[in-house]
Amino acid sequence: MRAPSIDIAAEVAVTKIPALRGTKRHRKVTMLRPLRQIAHLWPFGYKRVLVLEDDTMMQKLVTKLLRPLHVRVDVFGNGRDVVRQVAADGHRYDALLLDLMMPHDGGLTVLRNLREHHPSILRRGILMTGTRTSITDAWFPLVFAVVHKPFDGLALVTTVRACFHQPESLVA
């Protein structure tokens, strides 16, 4: 089941309303534009991050940690939904945070699918795992990074930020 998208960033435009000039109501009005209208304006718009995590507390924690980056976070609870979403518009994600070990279709399912069908997106992957390094060793050359649980919040944010700023030659 897919959790709703969480929009963290917003653009604020301050304008003056000409009809109110010269009146007591003449003041600046703050208007918020939907994020879809400013998505292409990075760094003034937002980046998109896909999070695959089965634990709801961890979903909330990761979303909260990414808030200072002004990103849109799409949270998923299983790998099948991620595979469908990536097939629909996967190239729009700037980073993919994948929990490797889940009870059902998890990060390994997504990684295998990305390797077969969308290898260019695979380089944007950040694996979150609490497992041994032997499982992640095979995937390490193909993904951007591996973050071991329990992780430091600042380390996760720094890793995601670095993933955003990696050269396009590495991503494509």
**Residue 46 or residue 152, greater confidence:** 152
Domain parsing of the chain, residue ranges:
6-171
pTM, 2 dp: 0.70
Does residue 64 sit in helix, strand or coil?
Answer: helix
52 has pLDDT over 70: yes
What is residue 139's predicted lDDT score, i.e. its pLDDT?
80
Q: Give the distance from CA 162 to its chain's centroid.
A: 13
Question: What's the confidence (pLDDT) of residue 30?
Answer: 39
- Predicted confidence band of residue 162 (pLDDT cuts 50, 70, 90): very high
Alpha helices, DSSP H, located in the chain: 35-38, 56-66, 79-89, 107-117, 119-122, 133-137, 153-164, 168-171
Residue type present at position 29:
V
Write the class of the CATH domain 6-171: alpha beta
Helix (H) or strand (E) holding 32: strand 28-33
Cα–Cα separations (whole angstroms), residue 58 to 75, 99, 164:
11, 10, 22
pLDDT interval class at 1 (50, 70, 90): low
H helical segments located in 26-152: 35-38, 56-66, 79-89, 107-117, 119-122, 133-137
Pairing of strands 28-33, 125-129: unpaired
pLDDT digits (tens, 9 = 90+) for 89-138: 767 889 999 988 877 777 888 888 989 998 888 899 999 888 776 667 77
Q: How confident is the model at residue 160 (pLDDT cuts 50, 70, 90)?
A: very high
